[in-house]
Amino acid sequence: MKKKPTISRFGDHGILIRYPERIDNKIHKVLTQYTHYLSKSLSDLIDGFTIAYHESAFYLKREVSVDEAIEIFVKKFNQANLAEEFEETSIIYRIPVCYEAPFALDIEEIATEKKISVDKVIKIHTQRLYPVYFIGFLPGFPYLGGMSKKIAHPRKGSPRKKVEPGSVGIAGTQTGIYPCESPGGWNIIGRSPLNFFDIHKEKPSLLKAGDHLRFEAIDYATYKQIEEQVKSGSYIIQKKIYK
């Protein structure tokens, strides 16, 4: 990615970094690496940041001047050597999901609509490696890319009042995981026993922008077993570094 982003003011205390407007894995990768790099190397200046597909925003501490900070950001940006500094921070997680009753509320509807078996829906959903583009919408909610169009299905006409934490859903061509109990309009195809947002951890969200994940089908008994292990703190999430 040779093209440089624009770096500009976003309100009284914000800085916006923008690449060309499209959902593109290469753009997103570079954006995420730079954003994580800048957030660490300039942590004294900022009170947080947000990453999306092609833009990230930095929110400066109140006493920091935006104009001066933009100059510092540009300078830091030009100094960064990403290949060396940030390759190791991207992780692939294996996410166990039970695609059975009582969790898979809408999987049969999708199978019927797509004229394929439920097993085929599961196979398609577990086949791919999904990039985590960013966390938004709810605390810990991952925006995942790359779902197969073969199982794409529109959002429910009216949202459910309550979706359980860990629920795995499909909305249009997107798939995602509900980290906490909330109302929601996604089609629920299963549930993961993992805790995706733990307020007691230093980094509450399990996933971050730039990570990847693969879903793995488990049966109900295994779900219960992992759920217990997660509760007691003995479950070890399977993960490896993404190269």
One character per residue 184-203, x = contact with other proteins (rule: CB under 8 A): -------------x-x---x
Residue among 38, 43, 31, 33 nearest 4 (CA): 31
Cα 222 to the center of its chain, rounded Å: 25
Q: Among residues 138 and 168, whose Cβ is nearest to other proteins?
A: 138
Residues in a beta bridge with 175: 170
What's the token pair of residue 150? 């073969």
Q: Among residues 27 and 121, whose Cβ is nearest to other proteins?
A: 27
Distance CA 191, CA 114 (A): 21
Widest CA span of the chain, in angstroms? 59
Report if residue 135 touches other proteins, rule: CB under 8 A. Answer: yes
Backbone angles phi, psi at 125, to 5 degrees: -70, -30
Site for other proteins (CB under 8 A): which residue of 31, 37, 55, 176?
A: 55
Strands (E), 45-158: 46-51, 55-60, 91-98, 130-135, 142-144
- Cβ at position 75, least distance to other proteins in Å: 22
Report if residue 153 touches other proteins, rule: CB under 8 A. Answer: no
Q: Among residues 14 and 225, whose Cβ is nearest to other proteins?
A: 14
The stretch near other proteins (CB under 8 A) out of 16-24, 68-76, 98-106, 219-227 is: 16-24
Site for other proteins (CB under 8 A): which residue of 59, 73, 103, 215?
A: 59
CB 142 within 8 A of CB 176: yes
Report if residue 75 touches other proteins, rule: CB under 8 A. Answer: no
Report if residue 115 touches other proteins, rule: CB under 8 A. Answer: no
Q: Among residues 40 and 123, whose Cβ is nearest to other proteins?
A: 40
Cα 49 to the center of its chain, rounded Å: 15
